[in-house]
A and B are shown apart, each in its own frame.
Chain A
Amino acid sequence: MTPRQKRFAAVGLGLLTLGGATALVLNAFQSNLVFFFTPTQVVNGEVPKGRSFRIGGMVEEGSLRREADGLTVHFVVTDTAQRVPVTYKGILPDLFKEGKGAVAQGQLGADGTFIASEVLAKHDENYMPPEAAEALAKAKAAGAQSSKTVIVQPQ
């Protein structure tokens, strides 16, 4: 090998080693790098006990309830498999909606209710004009209707 090829080989080999080492480190830290835990993990007890953590998922449709003081809210966070009730006192972000994603930081109470100190909205990666969203919702509703009829038909 010429000195030039040797230098390129050294650079390549160095990068390869570094990449491998990084992959191993990231793999080892896998569980520590998550921003939030899912309701399933909460129910299974895979969350840190006695200290604050974040829980993330979908705000269940029809679960949002506001107390008389106008500030305290109750809602349920779900990942469709498990549900965790959340209580929060404070102002919710604008994009916080039922059926949309949310991340709450706080502690798990003794009764299994999550007492949140901060609630963040998690929006998705879809961008479209409102008319398109409406059309999509309509098509989805129509799709749900037709699938229902399929189930009904055999009876």
Chain B
Amino acid sequence: MKINWSKYSAPLAFYPLAGKMIPWFGTVAALTIAVGLYIGLLVAPTDFQQGEAYRIIFVHVPAAWMSMFLYVVMAGWAAVGLGLNARLSFMMTQAIAPTGAMFTFLALVTGAMWGKPTWGAWWVWDARLTSELILLFQYAGVMLLRTSIDDQRRADRASGVCALVGVVNIPIIYFSVQWWNTLHQGASVSMTAAPKMATIMLTGMLLMTFGFWMYSLAVILSRVRCVILERESLQLWSKPSSVAEAVEVR
């Protein structure tokens, strides 16, 4: 059977599809995060120099990865929206921003909680920490710019451009520990070298990352459904049959 995928670029057609996917992603997220936390907090051994304090890695690193990944995805949707003038793309941009900001905040807070016992400081102005803080401001900027413009199309385009411009910060965050002297340690896991951590620790961390990823999908899809209802309300009002179709077919 050939599925006509382009049909789902229409917000009202995407609405029920998103509704069907949410429980799956949600369940997988809950299971993976539970197993990941179990491995991270109970199974994984104590670290040879940091003791138990290192265990915050199981939240901190996945959160930091997601904060950068979600920004790239958000900017990607903005680019597609600007190029194709597609409403759903901008709705995705709008739906991703709060989750990305949440993960950035989580990465910063857990990092501070980790920094105090290991480095001896909650916060330092090194390149990695500063660029991650800028990322939080970028998410805030994208969200604020959208809400500050009343005209929906202009709000979409302005915040889309804002998101796209900010994408230059992502490689800066990622490579900051290589390019400059930072207090933050280098990458333990990279694409080019063998991981610099014990396998069981790595397993826990990757499971948590996958869990956060699934969580993001579930939350973003639910949020995009709200956005669709909000922004397509006029269309729903004019076509009562589509209301029934969209709202009842969950």
Residues of A56-99 at the interface with B, using a CB-CB cut-off of 8 Å, are 56, 92-97
Known pairs A4-B83, A120-B119, A121-B118; A127 contacts B165 (CB<8 A): no
Please measure, in the bound complex, the distance between the C-alpha atom of A4 and the C-alpha atom of B81, giving whole angstroms.
11
Given contacts A35-B125, A97-B49, 14 further A-B contacts (CB under 8 A): A7-B83, A22-B172, A37-B181, A56-B181, A93-B119, A120-B120, A122-B185, A125-B188, A127-B57, A127-B198, A128-B48, A130-B45, A131-B45, A133-B49
**26 A-B pairs in the complex with CB atoms less than 8 angstroms apart:** A11-B164, A14-B164, A15-B168, A33-B127, A36-B181, A37-B181, A92-B120, A93-B117, A94-B120, A95-B50, A96-B120, A103-B183, A119-B120, A120-B120, A121-B118, A123-B185, A124-B186, A126-B188, A127-B188, A127-B201, A128-B197, A129-B45, A129-B198, A130-B48, A132-B48, A134-B48
How far does the Cβ of A73 sit from chain B's closest Cβ, in whole Å? Answer: 13
Please measure, in the bound complex, the distance between the C-alpha atom of A118 and the C-alpha atom of B172, giving whole angstroms.
27
> What is the number of residues of chain B that contact chain A, defined by CB distance less than 8 Å?
40
A120 & B121 in contact (Cβ 8 Å cutoff): yes
How far does the Cβ of B222 sit from chain A's closest Cβ, in whole Å? Answer: 29
A121 & B119 in contact (Cβ 8 Å cutoff): yes
Known pairs A11-B82, A125-B185, A125-B188; A120 contacts B124 (CB<8 A): yes
B168 & A18 in contact (Cβ 8 Å cutoff): yes
Interface bits B92-111 vs A (CB < 8 Å: 1, else 0) = 00000000000000000000
Known pairs A22-B168, A95-B118; A126 contacts B124 (CB<8 A): no
Option from B49, B84, B198 in Cβ contact (under 8 Å) with A123? B49
Leading 9 A-B pairs by shortest Cβ distance: A93-B120, A129-B45, A133-B48, A127-B197, A35-B126, A8-B83, A125-B188, A125-B185, A130-B48
Option from A22, A35, A130, A133 in Cβ contact (under 8 Å) with B180? A35
How far does the Cβ of A46 sit from chain B's closest Cβ, in whole Å? Answer: 13
Please measure, in the bound complex, the distance between the C-alpha atom of A7 and the C-alpha atom of B164, giving whole angstroms.
14
Please measure, in the bound complex, the distance between the C-alpha atom of A30 and the C-alpha atom of B182, giving whole angstroms.
13
B243 at the binding interface (Cβ < 8 Å): no
Please measure, in the bound complex, the distance between the C-alpha atom of A23 and the C-alpha atom of B196, giving whole angstroms.
29
B48 & A7 in contact (Cβ 8 Å cutoff): no
B232 at the binding interface (Cβ < 8 Å): no
A35 & B198 in contact (Cβ 8 Å cutoff): no
Tally A-B pairs: CB < 8 A: 117
Number of contact residues on A: which range applies? 35 or more
B181 & A126 in contact (Cβ 8 Å cutoff): no
Closest to B47 in A: A127
Please measure, in the bound complex, the distance between the C-alpha atom of A123 and the C-alpha atom of B196, giving whole angstroms.
13
- Which residues of chain A have a CB within 8 Å of any CB of chain B? 4, 7-8, 11, 14-15, 18-19, 22, 26, 30, 33-38, 56, 92-97, 100, 103, 118-134
Could you say which residues of chain B place their CB within 8 Å of the CB of A18? 165, 168
A121 & B196 in contact (Cβ 8 Å cutoff): no
Could you say which residues of chain B place their CB within 8 Å of the CB of A92? 120
How far does the Cβ of A3 sit from chain B's closest Cβ, in whole Å? Answer: 9
Option from A26, A123, A126 in Cβ contact (under 8 Å) with B118? A123
Could you say which residues of chain B place their CB within 8 Å of the CB of A125? 185-188, 196
Known pairs A15-B164, A33-B127, A36-B181; A128 contacts B172 (CB<8 A): no
Closest to B188 in A: A125
Could you say which residues of chain A place their CB within 8 Å of the CB of B57? 127
How far does the Cβ of B121 sit from chain A's closest Cβ, in whole Å? Answer: 6
B79 at the binding interface (Cβ < 8 Å): yes
Could you say which residues of chain A place their CB within 8 Å of the CB of B118? 93-95, 121, 123
Could you say which residues of chain A place their CB within 8 Å of the CB of B183? 35-36, 56, 103, 120, 122
Closest to B45 in A: A129
